Structure 1
Amino acid sequence: MSRIISVTLNVGLTGLVHLLCCWLPLVVVLFNGASIAWLAEYRAPLMVLQLSVLAWSFYDLYLRSSHVASLFEKRVFWTAVALTVVLNIIPHRYFQAEDSRLAQAQFERIRSTRVAQFELQKPPKSVEKLSTTLQSVEGVVPSQIKLNDEVVSVRYYLGKTSEQTILAALRQQGYEVTTID
């Protein structure tokens, strides 16, 4: 009975973790799955889990004296190790089509940015000066500055700046603005 459990864990669990860690993200990339790209966030914890399972399998196959491993078990183990190494060395973006890479980059850009909206109390004397002021703030996406009906919309990178920093820069240049919630 313990041999069946050992073989199941060595082959089944290693295969399952290998599937989740290496093959699932690869399949997502190959099929341009930008909508399920969130799976890539779990790649590191799955790799740690996979290495733990492989370490346990190695212990079970070679270091546990009460277990005599069959040739089949050893071949499956070393095949899983080889696939793990190969699939973790090759970056998944290598398999992506160009338009999939662009979609992924767009998805990442949108995910890491926020939009701030400001209401101007007076119309700006120069739209170019307003645009230049906003572009001078580090973290503002220059192509994503829009002005309509005395409302300024600005897309910015969340880690580089904040809505309050942009508001302070506008007020420092003499614009009378308030944030729109």
Structure 2
Amino acid sequence: MLAPGPFVTALAFLLALTPICIWITLTDLRDMKIRNVAVYTMAGIFVVLGLLALPLDVWAWRWLNFVVVFAIGFVLFAYAGFGAGDIKFVSVAALFVSQAEGQISLALICLSVGLIAGLGLHQILKRIPALTRATPDWKSWGAKRTPAGVGLALALWAYLALACVLAV
């Protein structure tokens, strides 16, 4: 079976992951946690949709992304205080990053911008009285640290959206 082109692949991943990115953002704002079930769902999407949308060799090599990011993340978790959920999310998100020329750089740019935007967005949202009154039990409003899942989900979504645009 022939794999679809880069646009169709990126669009399929984008459409499948958009609700997951929203879910991760909301649960991280509410609970300051990225749930394992969200990460497992992302991995399941890659296993099934990836096998349908990518050539088998490309799909297999994407697991190297996961291994490398997970290894780096494990060190950051152990020695720099990064959250375990954040590391699991980034590791699985790496499965969706193409190894084609320029794509890893694009993903890193999206990661940087996404984290900064997520920080800014959280700072703005927690200062909107109507929002905080409507969600008084959300842990992130009073937390000393910013929920990274907001920026991480935004980064993944932006990368996939840009991958669609650049593939056209």
Instruction: Normalising by structure 2, report the TM-score.
Output: 0.31
Would you tell me which structure has more helix in proportion to its own residues?
2
Instruction: Normalising by structure 1, report the TM-score.
Output: 0.29
Structure with more relative contact order (C-alpha pairs < 8 Å, separation 6 or more): 2
Would you tell me which structure has more strand in proportion to its own residues?
1
